[in-house]
């Protein structure tokens, strides 16, 4: 892949930068065409680990596809964006998402009016990669969150508003992705080097867990740089949550999408969406067919079907959108390679079709 993907439009894309809190922003794409149109409905897009504002390139395709519709696309910046993901956590992420949704609702209501009963200004939450973990966490956890993390004493939980639809793209398991790296290496780092670094990181994190220093303990960059992007601070707490060494029996908070999680565990996550009351419409999930972060032993379609049964309680509910869920043919993880024009068209078409049914 070239350093700069041909899919990024030269000259950038226009829009409006909104502050949804004093320090956090969301960007609404608005071209000259879309700005003149009536777009009361909104997609709020959440990137993955390491992503920041507008760093997932296929959003440019979504923006162009949405221009003639009554939907606009927002991308937000979380406090865990960029290299801060290693000290973040899903409760804070989803509280910030809720703040952003409340802002967008107020903004669209003021601009277009609140809509008549049954035709309110709709919001769909769409996640890429770890953004998908945020979407599921948003929908199944208690509302508001009940955690009081000592490692984040400034966290103030808010009531999360219901959304009209949910889309998750590249919902990969961080634990299985790391296992793949340990088997094959990554970049110029050999499997042996990765295994050695991983073993030492797990040893340090387990020791911090035992002696009660887990909340403040950080892993050394000399180890994390051998597996993760360079110069990324990672706490022992987030490391254990992501790699979840006690899975599949006792998965960490971030371990939502591993293929070996039993139905009983999925019932505690996917299975709680219906009772949570935060999803008024349907849920669609889109796996990338050639996702580099998914081991070759994972059958993506079987996994999607398994999640669908868990969401719908084997037919008791009808939340799962089987029509718009599926495996994107030949798609890489973020559809960012220069051979991804067709997968990106497939994704855009599927998202637009989903929105027509919201």
Confirm whether 195 is domain-assigned: yes
Q: What pLDDT digit, counting tens, does each position of 60-106 carry?
A: 999 999 999 999 999 999 999 999 999 999 999 999 999 999 999 99
Please indicate, yes or no, whether residues 102 and 226 belong to a single structural domain of this protein: no
Distance CA 264, CA 326 (A): 23
Confirm whether 279 is domain-assigned: yes
Specify the CATH number for the domain of residue 82: 3.40.50.1820
Distance CA 169, CA 144 (A): 25
| Domain extent at residue 115 | 16-173+257-357
Alpha helices in 113-162 (DSSP H): 130-140
Q: How many domains does the chain have?
A: 2
Neighbours of 299 (CB within 10 A): 12
Q: Do residues 75 and 53 touch, judged by C-beta distance below 8 A?
A: yes
Please indicate, yes or no, whether residues 25 and 136 belong to a single structural domain of this protein: yes
Please indicate, yes or no, whether residues 124 and 199 belong to a single structural domain of this protein: no
Please indicate, yes or no, whether residues 209 and 275 belong to a single structural domain of this protein: no
Helix (H, G, I), strand (E, B) or coil at 45: strand
Model pTM score: 0.95
Distance CA 61, CA 69 (A): 14
Confirm whether 39 is domain-assigned: yes
Say what the pLDDT of residue 11 is: 72
Please indicate, yes or no, whether residues 45 and 193 belong to a single structural domain of this protein: no
Q: What pLDDT digit, counting tens, does each position of 199-211 carry?
A: 999 999 999 999 9
Please indicate, yes or no, whether residues 113 and 217 belong to a single structural domain of this protein: no
Please indicate, yes or no, whether residues 180 and 168 belong to a single structural domain of this protein: no
Distance CA 270, CA 311 (A): 5
- In sequence order, the β-bridge partners of residue 123 are 42
Mean pLDDT in residue range 336-353 = 96
Q: What pLDDT digit, counting tens, does each position of 98-118 carry?
A: 999 999 999 999 999 886 555
Tokens of 273: 């969406």
């Amino acid at each position: 892949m070239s350093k700069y993907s041909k899919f990024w439009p030269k000259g950038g894309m226009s829009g409006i930068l909104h502050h949804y809190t004093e320090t956090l922003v969301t960007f609404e794409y608005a071209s000259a065409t879309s700005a003149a149109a009536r777009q009361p409905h909104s997609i709020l897009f959440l990137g993955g680990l390491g992503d920041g504002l507008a760093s997932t390139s296929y959003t440019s395709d979504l923006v162009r596809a949405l221009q003639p519709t009554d939907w606009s696309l927002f991308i937000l910046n979380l406090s865990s964006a960029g290299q801060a993901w290693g000290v973040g956590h899903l409760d804070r992420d989803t509280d910030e998402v809720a703040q952003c949704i409340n802002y967008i609702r107020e903004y669209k209501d003021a601009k277009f009016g609140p809509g008549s009963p049954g035709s309110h200004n709709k919001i769909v939450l769409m996640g890429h990669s770890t953004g998908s973990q945020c979407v599921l966490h948003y929908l199944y956890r208690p509302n508001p969150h009940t955690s009081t993390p000592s490692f984040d004493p400034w966290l103030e939980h808010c009531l999360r508003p219901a959304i009209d639809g949910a889309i998750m793209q590249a919902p990969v398991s961080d634990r299985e992705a790391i296992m793949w790296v340990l088997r094959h290496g990554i970049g110029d780092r050999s499997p042996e080097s990765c295994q050695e670094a991983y073993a030492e990181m797990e040893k340090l994190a387990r020791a911090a867990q035992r002696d009660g220093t887990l909340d403040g303990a950080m892993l050394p960059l000399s180890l994390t740089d051998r597996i993760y992007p360079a110069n990324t601070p990672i706490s022992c707490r987030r490391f254990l949550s992501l790699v979840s060494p006690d899975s599949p029996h006792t998965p960490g908070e971030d371990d939502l999408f591993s293929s070996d999680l039993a139905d009983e565990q999925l019932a505690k996550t996917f299975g709680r969406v219906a009772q949570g009351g935060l999803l008024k419409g349907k849920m669609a999930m889109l796996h990338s067919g050639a996702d580099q972060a998914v081991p070759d032993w994972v059958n993506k379609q079987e996994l999607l079907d398994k999640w669908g049964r868990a969401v719908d309680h084997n037919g008791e509910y009808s939340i799962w959108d089987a029509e718009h869920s599926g495996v994107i043919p030949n798609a890489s993880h973020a559809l960012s390679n220069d051979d991804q024009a067709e997968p990106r068209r497939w994704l855009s078409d599927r998202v637009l079709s989903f929105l027509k049914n919201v």
